[in-house]
Amino acid sequence: MNIDKATALAVAEEMRTAIDAILQKHDLQLEDRKIGYGDFFDFKIKAIPVIKGTNGVNMASQEATSYIKFGYQGIVQDGTQFGTPTTLTAELGTIFDIDGVEYIFAGINPRKRKFPIVAIRKFDGASMGFPDGVINRINASSKAGV
């Protein structure tokens, strides 16, 4: 008997609900999950510790750790042919605004070339990726709060 995709997704979702509750009891957070299906069902999770920083950012997340260890410099388009190298200097947890929606700067994902800057949408907690063009906005918001 083969396990089809719909069954695998349904089982994985039920397992995630139970796993989230268990991880929360132990101050852990689900970072990633992978499922496989076909001849067998495969379910793999990756959990990280929860160390809350400013504005609820998990300081133990891969994105936060990447930013803390290595910082970030991106290319901001400013009308020149190639743009200007600009360093992101804001603290994790900085709140910035785009079109009336508030986001919380949560770190860097260097594997995402087009959208390496990670932020959490404040009203629903969804994780979002942004291009280098938001660096100046985040830096300005960081300085405004100081």
Give 106-134 pLDDT, tens digit per residue: 999 999 999 999 999 999 888 999 999 99
The one-letter code for the residue type at 24 is Q
**pTM of this prediction?**
0.77
Give 16-60 pLDDT, tens digit per residue: 989 999 999 999 988 889 999 999 999 999 999 999 988 889 999
Give the pLDDT mean for 137-143: 91
Q: What is the pLDDT of residue 144?
A: 66
CA distances to 28, 93, 144 from 115, rounded to whole Å, are 26, 18, 24
The one-letter code for the residue type at 116 is P
Any idea which residue has 């929360």 for tokens?
Answer: 24
The one-letter code for the residue type at 28 is L
Q: What is the pLDDT of residue 109?
A: 95
pLDDT over threshold 60, residue 146: no
Label the pairing between strands 101-108 and 95-98. antiparallel
pLDDT over threshold 80, residue 102: yes
C-alpha span between 99 and 101 (Å, rounded): 6
Q: What is the pLDDT of residue 56?
A: 86
Percent of the chain with pLDDT over 70: 98
Q: What is the pLDDT of residue 113?
A: 92
C-alpha span between 64 and 53 (Å, rounded): 10
Q: What is the pLDDT of residue 54?
A: 82
CA distances to 11, 32, 42 from 36, rounded to whole Å, are 11, 14, 5
Q: What is the pLDDT of residue 31?
A: 86
